[in-house]
Amino acid sequence: MDSKEVYEIDRTADFIHSKNFTQVALQFPDELLKDSVRVVSALRDKLQLLRESVTEQNGDSKQVRLFVMADTTYGSCCVDEVGASHANADCVIHYGHTCLSPEELVALSSMQSGPKHQDIHFADVVCSVINPSDDQKNPVGLPRPVGDYSASVEVEAAAGSSYRIGGLIWELPNGHRMEDYLLVWVGSSNSAFANVVLTFNGCEIVRYDALENRLVTDLSQQRRILKRRYYLVEKAKDANIVGILVGTLGVAGYLDMIHQMKELITSAGKKAYTLVMGRPNPAKLANFPECDVFIYVSCAQTALLDSKEFLAPVITPFEAIVAFGRGKQWSGEYVMEFRDLINSSPVEAKTNLKKQESIEEDDGALALVNATEKALQLHDTNSASLVKRTIKSGAEYFANRSYQGLDMHNDNSLPEPYLIGRTGKASGYEHEKSKTDNL
């Protein structure tokens, strides 16, 4: 298939030209970066033709500068607004898979585009499994892009008749719930599918794999993800020091979510630290052993970080609300997008904290360590007596380390004078050559 058709060169050039953009950033994921040179060349040629046609009619027109952005700081599914701002771009063309998360900077225009050639055999899907009944054939329930909804849809969503996930939003007839429907996922088992399984965990779900041309009804592996997340929530309840990982700088509301998490952690009597490190990995998080748990504030499709190599659990903001909200029980509902949690939980967390201050939380189905919420440690004092203490800050954790780095002498002694080292190559230093010459 021609790359001009795959990447919609003509449509993209017309979009840039019609909006009079002069600084355009082209964002490519790693798997499509190999095509960036051809895309830029084709776009430049098409824009040049459009520019020449306008020049002949209306005079001179501004030249368009194209920039390629790759290796994004966070997930490639989000628009890299920070990288675009470095190039002073007034437009971002995003190629490849996207999570359709709302962006923080409204001034940046974004047009999702990417290869559209997909081999999907709809006729091969078992119709007896997915064919809806006559009373369910209602066009009202058809999903539409998130950019098409209005304020009235937001009201319907608040009332419970509308649902949204992954940039799509749809309404259900009055009196119907998502649990009444069979969900059919056409595609591979990726992070987007995991979000659907977690969000609609009360629905029956089947997946049609177009590449392997088969219908998958056994989702036991995906169902285990929910149990694993519940385990991490119970483990996070014993944390004393919490690290907040900034996993996005572009998704709308991320700063509000970080402030809300700090407020929730403080209300629970724990210490919070905010960490910005790009894409988290076990090696990076291992540099902060004082943190008992990490909260990852990111877009929905990169929020699940679960690996046995992580020394501490990495949970989502919704899981943090369940873990640190006193007396809060997990009802089975799961929220992936943190924007749905903004301005809804801090007050509730504070109220529950006051009501449950004297109540022991030993009624849960999973008691991981002990009946108290905070882990206790035993320290040997100078009086040779053992006392119970709780590490509450990173500074206190550092003070209790057996090794704290190089010792600094405070006796005002002068530093040792510098010494001249050896010079030359390892095969023969200069002082060794002089000895050889004397022989």
Model pLDDT, residue 191: 84
Does the structure show a pLDDT above 80 at 436? Answer: no
Cα torsion through 240, 241, 247, 248, rounded to 10: 100
Cα 159 from chain centroid? Answer: 28
The answer to whether 352 touches 321, Cβ cutoff 8 Å, is: no
Buried b (16+ CB within 10 A) or exposed e, 200-228: bbeeebbbbebeeeeeeeebeebeebbee
Residues written for the chain: 439
The whole-number pLDDT of residue 62 equals 78
- What pLDDT is stored for residue 343 in this prediction? 56
CA diameter of the chain: 104
pLDDT category of residue 50 using cuts at 50, 70 and 90? confident
Mean local confidence (pLDDT), 316-327: 86
Decide if 91 contacts 24 (C-beta within 8 A). Answer: yes
- Segment 58-80 shows an average pLDDT of 81
Look at 1 and 107; give whichever has higher pLDDT.
Answer: 1
Greatest mean pLDDT among 124-128, 136-140, 416-420, 435-439: 416-420
Strand residues in 89-202 grouped as ranges (E) = 91-95, 109-113, 144-145, 162-165, 168-171, 182-186
Indicate whether 242 pLDDT > 90.
yes
| pLDDT exceeds 70 at position 385 | no
Query: In sequence order, which residues have a C-beta less than 8 Å from that of residue 76 and are 6 or more positions away?
Result: 27, 29, 30, 96, 97
Whether the pLDDT of residue 371 is over 50: the answer is no
What stretch of H or E contains 271? strand 271-275
- The predicted-structure confidence for 248-299, as pLDDT tens digits, reads as follows 888 888 888 999 999 999 998 899 999 998 888 999 999 898 899 999 998 8
Q: Which helix (H) or strand (E) holds 222?
A: helix 220-236
Mean pLDDT for the stretch of residues 191-208? 86
Q: How far apart are CA 113 and CA 93, in angstroms?
A: 7
Residue 151 scores a pLDDT above 80: no
What's the rounded mean pLDDT across residues 417-428? Answer: 84
| pLDDT score at 261 | 92
Q: Is the pLDDT reported for residue 43 higher than 80?
A: yes
Going from the N-terminus, what domains does the chain have, and what CATH number goes with each?
3-113 (3.40.50.11840), 122-223 (no CATH), 232-355 (3.40.50.11860)
- What is the rounded CA–CA span in Å between residue 328 and residue 353? 10
pLDDT-above-90 percentage for the chain: 12
Burial 360-376 (b: 16+ CB within 10 A, else e): eeeeeeeeeeeeebbee
Going by C-alpha positions, the residue among 95, 97, 52, 87 that lies closest to residue 66 is: 87
Q: What is the mean pLDDT of the chain?
A: 74
Q: Are strands 65-69 and 109-113 parallel, antiparallel or unpaired?
A: unpaired
* SS3 state of residue 254: helix
* Average pLDDT value for residue range 196-203: 86
Helix (H, G, I), strand (E, B) or coil at 378: strand
72-124, pLDDT tens digit by residue?
Answer: 878 888 888 888 888 888 888 888 888 888 776 644 444 444 444 444 444 44
Position 137 pLDDT exceeds 50: no
Q: Name the least confident of 6-15, 93-102, 158-167.
A: 158-167
pTM value is 0.70
Tokens standing for residue 265: 């952690």
